[in-house]
Amino acid sequence: MVHVTPGFPSLAFRNLLSDLDGLILVAFPSGTGPTHSSEFLSLLKEAKRIGLPVIVATEGIGVTGSEYQAGREMLHEGCLWSGAMTPECAYVKAALLLGQSKGRNFLRKWWGIEFANEGVSQRSLA
């Protein structure tokens, strides 16, 4: 789980992607991130290329990612949204799904299903 802000060191994290099972980006409450940065977009594209699930969580209530262009760009790159879930809840749900040992696609398949009234999840546009 990583907080993304303007100046986020995308290059440093890009080198770690192959060692991760999933990535949770904690974005601004508006559901936006540093999509003005080509390095950040490159990070998202690489995660998408290798099939790494990227979840965007916010402290905002019910943010879907489609409210602003920056959020739509993250959706376009395959990010999943936590919807009404807090970042902590998104982490627990991601860990549960990734822990099933059924691969990364299992998380993508089941992310939009509520198991414990954790909040409405949004699927990616990709």
**67/1 Cα distance (integer angstroms):** 23
Tell me what the pLDDT averaged over the chain comes to.
Answer: 85
pLDDT of residue 84: 85
Instruction: Tell me how crowded residue 52 is: count the other CB atoms within 10 A of its CB.
Output: 18
Q: Are 35 and 74 in contact (CB under 8 A)?
A: yes
| Domains assigned to the chain | 2-110 (3.40.50.40)
Query: What string of DSSP letters covers 26-53?
Result: E--TTS---TT-HHHHHHHHHHHHHT--
pLDDT confidence band for 126 (50 / 70 / 90): very low
Report pLDDT digits (tens) over 29-71.
887 888 889 999 999 999 999 999 999 998 776 667 677 777 7
Q: What is the pTM of this model?
A: 0.85
Instruction: Tell me how crowded residue 10 is: count the other CB atoms within 10 A of its CB.
Output: 18
Report pLDDT digits (tens) over 5-14.
888 899 989 8
